[in-house]
Chains A and B, each alone.
Chain A
Amino acid sequence: MVKDEEDDYLSSMGLPCTLEVGTTADSQWAATSTWVGFLIWAGCWLRQYSAPDHRIVMYLSVAARPCCSSLIALGSVLAAVVGTERVRISWNEILQLPHGTEIHLLRDVKGAPSPKVRARGRLAEIGSLQGQVVREVILEEPAKLAGSKQLLFPRNLDALRPSRIPYVVGGRATDTLDLAETLEHLHPGFPQAWLFSRKLEALVVTQRSSWFRQLEGLQLRVTPHDRSKGAQQITLGAILVASASSAQSGVRTAVIPPTSIAHQAAAPLTILDGPRSLEVWESIRSPRLVFLLETCELDELILQKLKHIASFGERELPDGHGPIPEAAPPGIEMSVFTLKSV
């Protein structure tokens, strides 16, 4: 594994870990490079700041567009995780919740450590077992466990991960666990509720099929600066498009083609990925907009359009905005400004 020595862009995010993005295809792990770090930084920087009555616009031209919008979206998601208040379901909360409260668990399958299975039950009596306080959960799902009891006590909370919100439906529960572990590295004590909240962090306007194809096999590796903790690796898809249950589910990143944009709600950040997406920019209501284009896609028509939009731009960037690098990595060019909201 190669590690690029220049990861200034990521270190400016103040994360307690190093990030690497790559692919495990053919047993090859491509290391994080400056361009990856810059794009993650760009998404993170944008998501952290807002300008009242204005939208923040970022033009990005890149040597190659595939995977770039995923990395910007990742930056936005990371900023959202880090910026959210700490909320954790604690043992004390479990003791205080009323009898009959619905609760969700992840249980090991007998004889196999993973994948875990989702379980649903209701909080019941508080009692004592071998001298320690326990709380009963009467299970309702899965069906074969219906009516059986699961005891909760401080030492098994990490394994069972009791939650008020259902675990992933249609996905693998272990993905959620991996994601939780990864986010814990990124932001110790991260808000677990965020995992299950319905919160769109980024909208990517591009062709869906090619975007998802580019995401295949892409991994994020998080290595805490605290070497006592091991590195955690997760698919980028699990972070960007992880969904929770049907009721409270959501996706962090929505991907829609330019032709469907009229029906899309505003997201905190929208990435217009490619020339065709640029045509619908006026339909986007997001407070932060990224125009992502390949260098060789900057033809006369597109440049005219970008110049026209920039001509309405204002000099002032958001108050107290974080530092912007003096130079971009090779193959990337960036322009940031604000536009008065209409």
Chain B
Amino acid sequence: MMHQISSFPISFAVFSNAGKVAEHEEVLPFPPLAQLRKEVTQWWDLIRDTDDPVIADLRFSLWRLLFSLQLTLLPYDHIALVLTDQLTAIRNLADQTPEVRERLATLDSLVPYLQTHPENPKRARLLELLDEISTDEPVVGLVTGLTRWPLHGSDIDLDGREEFVAPIPSRAVLMSRTFDHIIVPGTSRYCPFQTELFHASRTSNLTMIRFDSEAAHRPRRPTLPRGPSKNVGPRPLAGLIPQQHGGPDTTILDTLVDNGFWTALRRASSSRGESEEPASPDRQHLVRARLVLFANGYWMNLREDRRIIEISRWVDGLEESQSLRGFPRRKVSELEDGHLIVLRTMGSGDYLVDVADGLLKADGLADLRRSSTDWKATLEMALRQHGTGEVARRLRSLGHRISTSSYLWTWTTNHVMRPESEDLFVDLIRVLSSLGYSLGNVDAEQAAIVRWVGMGRVIRYHYRAGAVIRRSLLKRLRSLIAVGCHIETEYQLALEGVDAGELSVLRIAAVDAEAALVPYGTTGTLEKL
């Protein structure tokens, strides 16, 4: 059984660390990777048109190849690095890019060289270091979350030393406890919790191991602004590595990757499946959403108005399993790297609808949803053809208060079953009829009333489905937590007796700092990076 970790001993240890922290840096020379980095930098210099999707893809593929090799703790011939596939993908993209086609020769020799000389100096030094410190310092934290983006070869295989190594994949895990020693096996330049790593005093021994080709990096310590009167700080400590921000050759790669990556992903997400549609908000259902990147290499646009089940504190052992009484939910804007969220990973992402449909089918009402909500597709056609403004204007002329015409789009989704009142719904169907969209051969009012009643019945099945899912999911999550299941990237959940499709617990690798307006249809579905 896990125990609630008391706060005071952690605070006590943290303050104690703050007074005696020692940092060490080991820089490993490794010419093949230095050469690779130089080569990738030159490629990046040659191909700057990031608006071209092929070039954007090529730049990111090159960056990913380099960082997979720089940060991996596996031998270079390990299958998880998929080096041959990575090189093939780069070759295919380079074939479409005349500026760099001629430069392939260097990559073609470097990558196979590493595959045939697989000893990874960083891995060798890490294993040595673990052997040196394991006796005296039983709790060694190994930072595994060094980038926001999933990389090939990020698996941990320490030849049997795993038992005294605590992986630190996220800020939450780092901040939940203290460590006798923390090892950072690479540059912390892209680590989403780099400030906490250096300045949250979770250890008194911080060792960085990096290749000489990796950017030296130590973030600035956040300090209070100086007030007008008395300012008091601790006496300076010896044994700290000075603040550093990379070398001259890091600027191109290291600053462009972050912005470029998110820009490219946002572009891909907003254009997906909507290319034939006009971009006007009046004719398109746009919602505010955030791009969320998962550790398994997938990403999803999550609507900002959603609250998602997030269970990292329980799965990572920071809370007792018994304390999981309801679903702990977070707003999408509050999600961050390291969180574990529960999502439907096949289909629309809306498991409530699927479970409700299963219940409807069992009661012989399989067609009720379709027959009661067929007006949604009709409304969507009308909105695309005439715009939300026109439909809203007609509804207002009938005495209804429509404060935001774009809200009409919400009625086309499963997110909101129907308008708030029957009168409004009947008039909506009348408006559709007046615009030339009729629902069958009956008059608009009769068609509306039949559907209103049908939707009321469907809603009752949604309530039942919600209760079924809640019971089963909670039971499943509790058992998962109770057995101490560790989830590095993804865990598929089968709910006993519930046909909810495929549900998964997914580890978040990164969340876009900015929300964007995206087509509704692009939200809630997983896409491969």
Which A residues are closer than 8 A to B by beta carbons? Answer: 21-23, 25, 28, 30, 33, 35, 57, 59, 61-68, 213-214, 216-218, 294-296, 298-299, 303, 306-307, 310, 313-317, 324-338
How many angstroms between the C-alpha atoms of A273 and B94 in the bound complex? 54
Interface 0/1 of B201-233, CB less than 8 Å to A: 100000000000000000001111111111111
Chain B residue, CB-CB nearest to A300: B222
Question: What is the CA–CA distance of A329 and B12 in the complex, to the nearest angstrom?
Answer: 13
Q: Which residues of B contact A331 (CB under 8 A)?
A: 14-15, 17-19, 201, 234
Query: Which of B1-9, B25-33, B58-66, B255-263 faces chain A?
Result: B1-9
Q: Does B348 contact A (CB under 8 A)?
A: no
Quick one: closest A residue to B229, CB to CB?
A: A337
Contact of A217 with B6 in the complex, beta carbons under 8 Å? yes
Asked if residues A315 and B228 are in contact (CB atoms below 8 Å), the reply is yes
Which of chain B's residues has its CB closest to A329's CB? B234
Given the interface contacts A317-B229, A338-B229, does A66 sit within 8 Å of B8 by beta carbon? yes
B residues near A25, Cβ cutoff 8 Å: 6, 9
- Cβ–Cβ contact A298 & B227, under 8 A: no
Chain A residues within an 8 Å CB radius of B226: 310, 335
Instruction: Known A33-B16, A217-B6; judge A66-B222 contact (CB<8 A).
Output: no
Contact A303 B229 (CB under 8 A): no
Contacts of A57 in B (CB 8 A): 227
Q: B227 contacts which chain A residues (CB < 8 A)? A: 57, 59, 310, 313, 335-337
Does A67 lie within 8 Å of B11, measured CB to CB? Answer: yes
> In the bound complex, do residue B201 and residue A213 qualify as a contact, i.e. CB atoms below 8 Å apart?
no
Flag B293-331 by CB within 8 Å of A: 1 or 0 each.
Answer: 000000000000000000000000000000000000000
Q: What residues on A are CB-neighbors of B4 within 8 Å?
A: 213
Chain A nearest CB: distance from B73 CB in Å? Answer: 26
Asked if B18 and A63 sit within 8 Å, CB to CB, the answer is yes
Interface residue B288 (Cβ < 8 Å from any Cβ of A)? no
Please measure, in the bound complex, the distance between the C-alpha atom of A315 and the C-alpha atom of B231, giving whole angstroms: 11
Chain B nearest Cβ from A6, distance in angstroms: 10
The answer to the question of B195 belonging to the interface, with a C-beta cut-off of 8 Å to chain A, is yes
Q: Which 6 A-B pairs have the closest CB atoms?
A: A331-B18, A330-B19, A66-B7, A298-B222, A335-B227, A64-B14
Q: Are B11 and A61 in contact (CB under 8 A)?
A: no
A35/B15 in contact, CB under 8 A: yes
B235 nearest in chain A by CB position:
A327
Query: What is the interface size of chain B, counting residues whose CB is below 8 A from a CB of the partner?
Result: 36
Q: A299-B222, A303-B222 given as contacts; is B228 within 8 A of A64 (CB)?
A: no
Question: Which A residues are in CB contact (< 8 Å) with B221?
Answer: 295
Give the chain A neighbours of B235 by CB distance below 8 A. 327, 330
- B199 and A296: CB pair below 8 A? yes
Q: Is the CB of A296 within 8 A of B222?
A: yes
B158 within 8 A of A: no
Residues from chain B with Cβ under 8 Å of A61 in the complex: 222-224
Known contacts A295-B200, A334-B231, A335-B231; decide if A30 and B224 are in contact (CB<8 Å). Answer: no
Inter-chain CB contacts under 8 Å: number: 145
Shortest Cβ distance from A259 into chain B, in angstroms? 14
Are the C-beta atoms of A327 and B232 separated by less than 8 Å? Answer: yes
Q: Are B16 and A298 in contact (CB under 8 A)?
A: no
What chain B residues lie within 8 Å of A63 (beta carbons)? 11, 14-15, 17-18, 200-201
Apart from A35-B15, A218-B8, list 6 A-B contacts with CB within 8 A: A28-B9, A66-B10, A296-B199, A310-B226, A315-B229, A333-B232
| Complex: chain B residue closest to A218, CB-CB | B8
Q: Are B199 and A66 in contact (CB under 8 A)?
A: no
Contacts A295-B199, A315-B229 given; does A306 touch B10 at CB 8 Å: no
| Contact among B10, B15, B200, B232 for A296, CB-based, below 8 A | B200
Given known A-B contacts A296-B199, A313-B229, A328-B232, A22 and B8 have beta carbons under 8 A apart: yes
Q: How far is A30 from B13 in the complex, measured between Cα atoms in Å? A: 10
Whose C-beta in chain B lies nearest to the C-beta of A326? B232
Instruction: Considering the complex, give the chain B residue whose CB is closest to the CB of A217.
Output: B6
Q: Measured between alpha carbons, how far is A334 from B224 in the docked complex, in Å?
A: 8
A337 to B231, CA, bound (A): 9
With A217-B6, A306-B224 already in contact, the answer to whether A30 and B12 are too (CB < 8 A) is: yes
Task: Give A331 to B222 CA distance when docked, in angstroms.
Answer: 12
Q: Does B77 touch A at the CB level, under 8 Å?
A: no
Cβ of B513 to closest chain A Cβ, rounded Å: 12
A330 touches B18 (CB 8 A): yes
Q: Name which residue of chain A comes closest to B7, CB basis.
A: A66
Rounded to whole Å, the gap between the CB of A322 and the closest CB of chain B is: 12
A297 to chain B, nearest CB (A): 8
Of A217, A299, A327, which is within 8 A of B233 by CB? A327
Q: How far is the CB of B225 from chain A (nearest CB, A)?
A: 4
**Contact status of A313 and B200, CB under 8 A, knowing A25-B6, A66-B7:** no
Q: How far is the CA of A328 from the CA of B230 in the complex (A)?
A: 12
18 contacts between A and B (CB under 8 A): A23-B6, A30-B12, A33-B16, A59-B224, A67-B7, A214-B8, A295-B221, A296-B199, A298-B223, A303-B222, A314-B229, A327-B233, A330-B15, A333-B231, A335-B226, A335-B231, A335-B232, A336-B232
* Nearest neighbor of B231 in chain A, beta-carbon distance: A335
- Nearest CB in chain B to that of A25: its residue: B6
B15 touches A324 (CB 8 A): no
Are A303 and B225 touching (Cβ within 8 A)?
A: yes
Chain B residues within 8 Å of A332, by CB = 15, 233-234
Q: Do residues B225 and A328 form an inter-chain contact, with CB atoms below 8 A?
A: no
Which residues of B are found within 8 Å of A23, using beta-carbon distances?
6, 8-9
Q: How far is the CB of B514 from chain A (nearest CB, A)?
A: 14
The CA of A33 and the CA of B18, in the complex, are separated in Å by 12
Cβ of A64: which chain B residues have Cβ within 8 Å of it? 10-11, 14-15, 200-201
B177 smallest CB distance to A (angstroms): 11
